[in-house]
Each structure stands twice: as structure tokens, then as C-alpha cells.
């Protein structure tokens, strides 16, 4: 079996890392796209969590060695080299487009949550409390939307979660990374009533589309 970690363009070399189960990494090139893989003999019997960590370390190691990296979801495997080559050929156009989209970029994640306030003494009824709660949520949404707009202006693309607390991922050019992180820090300092968490930079996991 052949396990795939990522697709890359302009890959300088493989990272000095082992793959899942300690397997050596290999590069499989098709024209201008490189698939980073390792080989497995027989089914994996190790801890899936350790395997997932090893997979992620390889992907992150590639981000400093390639112009563009598209992470492949953990666990994607192919029976042999010919099967991998056919699959890569069939997806080559989409992979190329995605690599162009993420070229020179990393992913930054941002999550903003508001503490749940105690029930107000002036909210005499459940209806009053719900109105108060909805007003607070509307205010929170307006504040976080300002941050989202600012980060969108500084990013090449963004993906926002559709429910729950504000959570979004931003595709950021490396040259803009410090600016984006500074904008998040300023927002957090200006709104101590909110919990603001920023993660990354990561490989662009959220922006590969069907190619990854």
C-alpha cells in the first residue's frame, strides 16, 4: 500500500522525517506536481492517534520546503504505484489549480467566543432574558464581523464555520503573516470580554477543495 501525505509544487527536497510507522518518505512526480508518499506492507496495527500525528508532522515539514503544499486527508492510500499514478493523472488539473491558489500561503485559524453572562437581575421573566441574550449575541456578531472583514482584506481567501462560536480559517500570504497576527492581537486587547484564540501558521488544510 502507498500512503499519500500531500501534493506539492517546487519541492526542494523531502523533509528529514519518517512517515507513518517509521516508513521512509518518497516523492512521486507527475509533470510539475509531486506526491509525497510512504509504503506500507500489510495493515497498520499501531495507535491511530500516533499515525495521525506522524502524518501531520510530514505535512507541516513540507511547508518550509515547497512553494505550495496541499495536505491530503489522513488515511488516503492506494494499492500500488500504477493506481496512484492513474489517480494523480485524473486529478491533475484540480490539483494544479489548488496549488496555484495556495502558493506562498499558510493557514491561520481564529476563534472568538463570548462568556455566557449570568442572568441579569433586570430580566424578570424568561422572555426578558431571551431578549437580553439575543441582543448580546447580536452585539458579539457585529464585533467579530469587524475582525472578519479586516482579516479577509489581509488574506487571499477565508472559510467560516456555519454555526456555533465565530470560527474561521484564513489563507494568508507569508509576507502578510505578521500583519494578520498583529491584527488579531490588537482585536483581543481591545475586547477583553471575549476569548480570542489564534492558531497556526499551518499548511492550508481548509483550502484544497476537491483536489486534496
Residues 117 and 180 occupy one common structural domain: yes
Alpha helices in 7-106 (DSSP H): 48-62, 81-90, 92-102
Alpha-carbon span 13 to 105, nearest angstrom: 19
User: What confidence score (pLDDT) does residue 204 get?
Assistant: 95
Q: In Å, what is the CA distance from 119 to each residue of 101, 109, 126, 127?
A: 47, 31, 10, 12
Residues 160 and 181 occupy one common structural domain: yes
Residue numbers of the domain that contains 87? 2-102
Residues 119 and 139 occupy one common structural domain: yes
- Whether 68 contacts 10, CB under 8 Å: yes
Alpha-carbon span 106 to 127, nearest angstrom: 45
- Whether 100 contacts 68, CB under 8 Å: yes
Last residue of a domain, one of 85, 102, 119: 102
Residues 109 and 207 occupy one common structural domain: yes
User: What confidence score (pLDDT) does residue 75 get?
Assistant: 87
pLDDT values of the chain reduced to their tens digit, one per residue, 212 residues: 999 999 999 999 999 999 999 999 999 998 899 999 999 876 667 788 999 999 999 999 999 999 999 999 998 899 898 999 998 899 999 999 999 999 999 999 999 987 655 445 555 665 655 545 554 555 556 688 889 999 999 999 999 886 667 899 999 999 999 999 999 999 999 989 888 999 999 999 999 875 55
User: What confidence score (pLDDT) does residue 146 get?
Assistant: 86
User: What CATH number did the domain enclosing 190 receive?
Assistant: 3.30.70
The pTM for the full model equals: 0.81
Asked if the peptide bond before residue 183 counts as cis, ω within 30 degrees of 0, the response is: no
Last residue of a domain, one of 71, 102, 133: 102
Residues 63 and 112 occupy one common structural domain: no
Last residue of a domain, one of 64, 81, 102: 102
Residues 87 and 147 occupy one common structural domain: no
- Whether 44 contacts 103, CB under 8 Å: no
Q: Specify the 3-state DSSP secondary structure of 116.
A: coil
Long-range contacts of 88-91 (CB under 8 A, 24+ apart): 88/28, 88/30, 88/33, 88/35, 89/30, 91/210, 91/211
Amino acid at each position: 500500500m502507498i500512503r499519500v501525505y500531500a501534493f506539492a509544487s517546487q519541492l526542494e527536497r523531502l523533509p528529514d522525517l519518517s512517515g507513518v510507522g517509521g516508513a521512509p518518505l518518497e516523492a512521486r512526480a507527475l509533470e510539475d506536481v509531486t506526491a509525497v508518499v510512504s509504503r506500507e506492507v500489510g495493515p497498520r496495527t499501531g495507535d491511530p492517534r500516533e499515525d495521525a500525528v506522524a502524518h501531520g508532522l510530514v505535512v507541516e515539514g513540507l511547508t518550509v520546503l515547497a512553494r505550495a503544499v496541499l495536505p491530503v486527508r489522513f488515511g488516503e492510500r492506494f494499492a500500488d504505484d500504477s493506481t496512484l499514478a492513474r489517480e494523480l493523472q485524473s486529478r491533475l488539473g484540480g490539483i494544479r489549480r489548488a496549488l496555484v491558489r495556495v502558493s506562498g500561503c499558510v493557514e491561520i485559524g481564529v476563534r472568538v467566543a463570548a462568556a455566557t453572562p449570568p442572568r441579569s437581575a433586570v430580566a424578570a421573566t424568561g422572555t426578558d432574558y431571551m431578549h437580553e441574550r439575543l441582543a448580546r449575541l447580536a452585539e458579539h456578531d457585529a464585533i467579530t464581523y469587524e475582525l472578519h472583514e479586516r482579516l479577509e482584506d489581509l488574506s487571499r481567501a477565508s472559510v467560516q464555520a456555519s454555526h456555533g462560536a465565530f470560527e474561521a480559517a484564513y489563507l494568508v500570504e507569508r509576507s502578510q503573516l505578521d500583519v494578520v497576527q498583529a491584527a488579531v492581537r490588537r482585536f483581543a486587547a481591545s475586547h477583553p470580554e471575549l476569548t480570542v484564540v489564534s492558531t497556526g501558521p499551518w499548511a492550508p488544510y481548509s483550502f484544497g477543495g476537491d483536489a486534496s
